[in-house]
Amino acid sequence: MATGKSDISGWLVRPAGGWWWAGLVGVLGALTVHTVLVTSDGGMDNGIVVDAARTWLDGGSPYDDRHFLYFPSAVMAAVPQALLPRSVLDVLVPVAVTVALALGWACALLLHRVPLRSRLAVLGLLGLAAGFAPFGQLVRLGNWTVTAVLALPLCLLLVSRGRWVAAGAVIGVAVALKPLLAPMALLFLFARRWGALALVVLVPAVASVVAALFLPDPTGFLTRTLPFLLSGDDAFVRLYEASPAAVLPRLGVPRAPATLLALLMAAAGVVCAYVRWRGPGPVPLRLAETSAGLMLSAFLVSRPSYNHYLLVVLPLLLAGLPYAGAVARRPWFWLALVPQLPGVTWPWLESGRRRAFRDAFTLCALSVTVSYHCVRGARVTRGADGPPETREGRRAAVESA
pLDDT digits (tens, 9 = 90+) for 80-101: 999 999 999 999 999 999 999 9
What pLDDT is stored for residue 236 in this prediction? 66
Does 103 map to a domain?
no
Distance (Å, rounded) from C-alpha 39 to C-alpha 351?
21
- Asked if 75 and 52 count as a contact pair (C-beta separation under 8 A), the reply is yes
Boundaries of domain holding 337: 232-401
- Annotate 348-357 with b (16+ C-beta within 10 A) or e (fewer): eeeeeeebbb
Count CA within 13 A, CB hemisphere, residue 308. 22
Contacts of residue 155, defined as CB under 8 A and 6 or more positions apart, other chains included, come to 167, 168, 170, 171, 174, 181, 184
Residue 160 maps to a domain? no
Give the pLDDT score at 347. 80
Average pLDDT, the chain: 88
| Residue 383 pLDDT class (50, 70, 90 cuts) | very low
Percentage of residues in the chain having pLDDT higher than 70: 90
Rounded to whole angstroms, how far apart are CA atoms 267 and 296?
11
How long, in residues, is the chain?
A: 401
pLDDT for 172 beyond 80: yes
DSSP class of 344: P
- Residue closest to 70 by CA, chosen among 291, 242, 294, 229: 229
DSSP sequence for 295-318 = HHHHHHH-SS--GGGGGGTHHHHH
Classify residue 251: in a domain, yes or no: yes
pLDDT confidence band for 232 (50 / 70 / 90): low
Single pTM value for the model: 0.90
Query: Is the residue at 364 inside a domain?
Result: yes
Question: What is the reported pLDDT for 287?
Answer: 96
Is there a domain that residue 292 lies in?
A: yes
pLDDT at 361: 94
Mean pLDDT calculated for residue range 15-27: 92
C-alpha distances in Å from residue 210, one per residue of 49, 50, 78, 207? 18, 19, 15, 5
pLDDT tens per residue across span 109-131: 999 999 999 999 999 999 999 99
Lowest-pLDDT range of 71-85, 180-194, 217-231, 287-301:
217-231
CB 43 within 8 A of CB 141: yes
Element (H, E) at 384: none
- Would you call 63 helix, strand, or coil by DSSP? helix
Q: Is the pLDDT of residue 380 over 70?
A: no
Number of alpha carbons in the 13 Å side-chain half-sphere of residue 50: 22
- For the chain, the domain total comes to 1
Is the pLDDT higher at 398 or at 141?
A: 141
State the burial class of residue 94 (Cβ atoms within 10 Å of its Cβ: 0-12, 13-18, 19+): buried
Written as one letter, the residue type at 269 is: G
Please state the rounded mean pLDDT for residues 284-303.
Answer: 94
CA dihedral (359, 364, 367, 369) in degrees, to 10, reads: -110
Q: Which amino acid is at 190?
A: F
Region 254-267: what's the mean pLDDT?
94
What confidence tier does 57 reach under pLDDT thresholds 50, 70, 90? Answer: very high
Is 7 a residue whose pLDDT tops 90? no
Q: What pLDDT score was predicted for residue 401? A: 52
Asked whether the predicted pLDDT for residue 391 surpasses 60, the reply is: no
Tell me which amino acid residue 109 is. L
Give the per-residue pLDDT at 1: 55
Backbone angles phi, psi at 386, to 5 degrees: 95, -150
pLDDT band at 202 (very low <50, low <70, confident <90, very high): very high
Average pLDDT on 285-308 reads 94
pLDDT grade for 392, boundaries at 50, 70 and 90: very low
Question: Is residue 80 included in any domain, yes or no?
Answer: no
Q: What phi and psi, each to the nearest 5 degrees, are found at residue 383?
A: -145, -155
Q: What is the mean pLDDT of residues 184-188?
A: 97
Q: How far is 277 from 291, CA to CA, in rounded Å?
A: 9
Most confident of 158-172, 209-223, 323-337: 158-172
Indicate if the pLDDT at residue 36 is higher than 70: yes
Mean pLDDT computed over 293-320: 94
10-19, 98-107, 221-230: least confidently modelled range: 221-230
> Which of these ranges, 7-21, 37-51, 240-254, 375-389, has the smallest mean pLDDT?
375-389
Residue 177 dihedral angles phi and psi, to the nearest 5° = -80, -45
Decide if 127 is inside a domain.
Answer: no
Within a domain: residue 146? no
pLDDT confidence band for 233 (50 / 70 / 90): low
Element (H, E) at 207: helix 194-212
Q: Is the dihedral of CA 302, 144, 118, 163 positive or negative?
A: negative
